[in-house]
Each structure stands twice: as C-alpha cells, then as structure tokens.
Structure 1
Amino acid sequence: MTIADVSLAVIKAAQQGDRAAVEDVLLSVQDRIYNLAHRVLVNPDDASEATQEILIRILTKLSTFRAESAFSTWAYRIAIRHIVSAKKLRDRDPGLTFEMFAADLETGLVADPPEAPDQALLLNELRVSCTMAMLLCLSMDLRLAYVLGDVLELDQSEASGILELEPAAYRKRLSRARAEVVAFTSRHCGLVGENTKCSCPRRLPAALEAGRVLRGSYPNSAGSRLSYSQARAEIGAVVEDLKTFKLQQSVPYRDCPQDIRFELTRILSPSR
C-alpha cells in the first residue's frame, strides 16, 4: 500500500480506533515520509529519527483529518512542519554553502588515482552521497521546494499546498532552487559538466581519507538500480538542461527502516 492507495474508508476506520486500519495508514505513508526526510536532512540517523516522530504525529493528529485535501498532502504537511520546526534538527544542519562545498570537492583531487578492489561500489557510494549532500547548500525553503518538485516529482498544486504557498510563489521558489543546483552541478560535478575539476574517480582518494565514504560500507547507494558507470551513461545521454535532474533522480528510493516499523508496532500494541 502506498500513500496514494489508502482509502477514506480505511482512514475513517483508523480514526475510530481500528488498529489494523491504523497500521495500514502508517504503512501507506512511511516510505514516502522517510524519503522526504532523508533527502531534506541527508543524514540517515536524522532521517530515521524524524520519520518516527512524524509518523507518531500523523497517528496522534489522525482524528483532525477532514478530507479537505488529499491525505498525502495532509501527511506531507505534517512532515514539513516537523522538519522545519524541530530545534534539534535545525541545530544539526551543517550550514553548508555552495562555495564551501565546491572548495571541499576540489581539495585533494588526484590526477591519476589508483583503483581500489571495490572501486565500482565506492564510486557509486560517492556519487550518491555527493548528490544528496549538495542539496544541504540550499536554504531550507528552497531545499523543500526542490525535493518536493524535482526529487519526489509532486505536481505544483500538491507541492504548493504542502508548503502552504500560493502556486505562483511555489513556482518561483522551485525555479530559484533549480537554478542554484543546476549552476553548481554544471560548474563542479564531473557527471554533469564537461570541464569541471572534480570527478568521482579523482575525488575518491580524498573522500576515503576524510571518511566521506568507507570501504565495505555503502549505506546511500545500497539497492541502487544504477551503477556508477550506468548513471554516468544515463546522465550523459540527456540534453544539457536535464542532466542535473537526471543526477538527482539517480539517487535510490529507500524503504523505511524496519526498526521504525517495529517501534511503531510497539507503540500501537495495547499495554499489558
């Protein structure tokens, strides 16, 4: 069941305390909420923590849903409000700028890097991790518009409703976010721009030394439908204006971690 599949009848049953219906409602939203949190916050631990808290908020506020909007819009709005307002999440934001990120990318580049035994896996992990991290350089309002519009690909009416903006204001915000991301990737990402200093193979030794990626650990790229070479080929095959979009879309979609599901089940279980 996905966020679009949950029916009004199931929601009403959940509002009346039907535990199976409550579980169906949470199951319908958990993956989408986790992917929203992961792409906005990037850090997987922060995303997991935020997702659990958001799902509990959805559960506790379920009685207030009046079907005045799509359930997906309502659920995403709760998620966005939590991400924006939670002080502990704001305090953990690294405060990156595109200038800082570019300087980091261009530090320690190796002209003729040696190949590691797990080179293909490491390059793919670096590709995905870097693609995600660059969105931290956007201000939160632009980041949210970009994730909703170009990562989750929600239509503008739903995205503007989630952000509680007029459609024209949302379009302006999304356009500005796109322009900033496209400008950065065109100048600094070797998968998008032809004359950039940085490329994943040249960047990998410094990334390993700095702990940006770890040998034998591929948390961001696990389950990716694309390898590094496949992603490079797909991005290279599209016209210039679509390269950055293709880069962001090549980040794998994640299932909500099972420990969140187990914790919610524990919360829902009747006390003994």
Structure 2
Amino acid sequence: MVLIDVKAEDVRSAQAGDRNALEAVLSGTQHQVHALARRILVNPDDASEATQEILILVLTKLSTFKGEAAFSTWVYRVAVRYLLNTRKIRDRDLGLTFDMFAADLESGLVADPPKAPDDALLLNELRISCTMAMLLCLKMESRLAYVLGDIFELDHGEASQILELTPATYRKRLSRARSEVEAFTSHHCGIVSTSAKCACPRRLPAAMEAGRVQRGNYPNSANAKEGYADIRAQVGAVIEDLKTFKLHRSVPHHECPEAIRVALTEILSPPA
C-alpha cells in the first residue's frame, strides 16, 4: 500500500505559497487519496471525481494545518469529511445490503460454466469487482472504519483521530464491520468458503450478461500482480479467521489517474 509521504519542510513551504512545494504535496498525497476513494466508492468515475475534489480541498485548506497531528492524519480527515458530508456522495448510495448482495450473487449461477480463452482475466476481474462491491453493503461510517483499519492497516489511534472518534468507539465500529464482512464471506464467497453457493466460475456468465464484467475491459484488475487461481490458493492456505482479511487485501492498489494530476497542476500554475 502506498503511504502518504510528504516532507514537513514541503508542507511549510507550500503553506507559504511555494509552487514546487505544492506540487510535492500533491504528488505525495494523490495516490493514497485515490486509493481511499476507490475503496469507499468503488465506481472508478465517482472515485476519480471525489479524488480531484478532495485534493483541491487539501491544497486550498493547507493553511489550516497546524501540525497538531501527522500530516497524513490531516489529509485523511479532509478526505473522510468530504466522503461523509458531500450530498452527491450520499445521493449515489444505492442502499445495498448484504442480503440484497447475496441474492444477486446467487441468481443465474451456472453449474457447469463454459470455458473461454480469457477466463483467467475475466475471473480475476470478477473476483476483484465483487470483493470491492461487497463493502458497499456497509454503511459509510462502518465502511470507512473497515477500510482504514483492516485494508489500509492504520494504527487504531490514527484511525480514530481521522474519523474523529474515541479509540474505544472506533474499535467497536471496526469490530462490528469486520464481523459483518466475515459473516458474509464465510457464507457466500466461494473463495473463502468451499460450501458457498456462489463461486466466480459459476457466477461469470450472469455477470457478463449483466455487463458487470466485459471481455477486454479490466478496470479493477489491470494492476493485479496475482491471478484468480493464485488468490484462491493463498486464501485457502490461511487459517479461517484470516481468509476474509486475505481476500480484501488482495485487491490491487489503484493509482491516481494521470489526468487528475495534470488538471491540478494546471490549477496550481500561475496565470500567464
């Protein structure tokens, strides 16, 4: 996982208006902000839009950073406030639940699915897409706690500061979210549980028919270093309590699109 890595002197220089320092702040925060937006919102376009708006907030509110917490904590807090409070983010919430998601996964399953030359790519895209979409079943507050704690593996103290919660409240929220995700995967995910009805090969024909997975288009798995068979073997090899953790940690890191960096660099450029 790429970490927010910005030098303290660059932050101070950026606060004083130094353009090169502002670009260094942008460079050091863009990928992790996008990674958070992608995990929380899942949809690539929504995540890109949110990333750009969060980064603009980071740059325009930079003068308010007083060093009372780590700079990374402050950046994440700006991002979290945006994700929690922006109306268009709330309006896009589909109200998905784990029961609804389970019913969708188990519809149209094929007992003996046909094989195609690109099955390996399609199965990996489906595996990653489903793993990411699963978290949409969590309420936003719980989703943020789960992503920061179990996927980004932030220290609980930092995560509680980011979410502006007491450490005890954060631990309870993370524990509840973790229990919900683990319960779902243990009953409905064929990678985690061999007794689950849904398995990627059986689900693939219905997913392709619905347009959720398309040949030649792999937006979620393009950067994956490991394939479907690799992850299935790795998840199967760990002890029961770690299977869900391994599944979610296997989603590849999605770097910030270059177009966002270019657009923000142009905003930083002084008028001719």
The CA deviation at 1:89 is: 1.1
CA-to-aligned-CA distance 1:146-171 (integer Å, 9 cap, x gap): 00001111010110000000000000
Alignment-derived partner of residue 79 in structure 1:
79
The CA deviation at 1:8 is: 1.4
Structure 1 residue 69 corresponds to structure 2 residue 41: no
The CA deviation at 1:9 is: 1.0
Q: Following TM superposition, where does structure 1 have runs of at least 4 consecutive aligned residues deviating by more than 6 angstroms?
A: none
The answer on whether the counterparts of 2:96 and 2:136 sit within 8 Å (CA) in structure 1 is yes
Q: Which amino acid aligns with 1:117?
A: P
- Are the structure 2 counterparts of residues 154 and 47 from structure 1 closer, same or farther at C-alpha, using a change threshold of 3 Å? same
The CA deviation at 1:78 is: 0.2
Q: Distance in 2 between matches of 1:3 and 1:18?
A: 23
Q: Which amino acid aligns with 1:152?
A: F
Q: Which secondary structure does the structure 1 equivalent of 2:215 belong to? A: coil
Q: Distance in 2 between matches of 1:249 and 1:52?
A: 25
Between the two proteins, what is the percent identity of the paired residues? 67
Query: Greater relative contact order (Cα 8 A, min sep 6): structure 1 or 2?
Result: 2
Alignment-derived partner of residue 104 in structure 1:
104
What value does the CA root-mean-square deviation take over the aligned residues?
A: 0.8
Alignment-derived partner of residue 134 in structure 2:
134
Q: Distance in 2 between matches of 1:183 and 1:19?
A: 49
The answer on whether the counterparts of 2:73 and 2:161 sit within 8 Å (CA) in structure 1 is yes
Q: Distance in 2 between matches of 1:261 and 1:118?
A: 33
Q: Distance in 1 between matches of 2:187 and 2:208?
A: 23
CA-to-aligned-CA distance 1:5-58 (integer Å, 9 cap, x gap): 312111100001110000001110111100000000000100000000000000
Alignment-derived partner of residue 158 in structure 2:
158
Alignment-derived partner of residue 194 in structure 2:
194
Higher mean displacement: 34-43 or 88-97: 88-97
Q: Which secondary structure does the structure 1 equivalent of 2:116 belong to? A: coil
The CA deviation at 1:194 is: 1.8
Alignment-derived partner of residue 5 in structure 1:
5
Q: Which secondary structure does the structure 2 equivalent of 1:206 belong to? A: helix
TM-score (normalised: structure 1): 0.98
Q: Distance in 2 between matches of 1:160 and 1:150?
A: 13
Q: Distance in 2 between matches of 1:28 and 1:70?
A: 14
Structure 2: unaligned runs, 5 residues or longer: none
Q: Which amino acid aligns with 2:184?
A: F
Write the mapping of 1:108-127 to structure 2, written as runs, cut at 5 A. 108-127=108-127
The CA deviation at 1:4 is: 4.4
Alignment-derived partner of residue 19 in structure 1:
19
Alignment-derived partner of residue 224 in structure 2:
224
Q: Distance in 1 between matches of 2:54 and 2:158?
A: 19
TM-score (normalised: structure 2): 0.98
Q: Distance in 1 between matches of 2:143 and 2:5?
A: 27
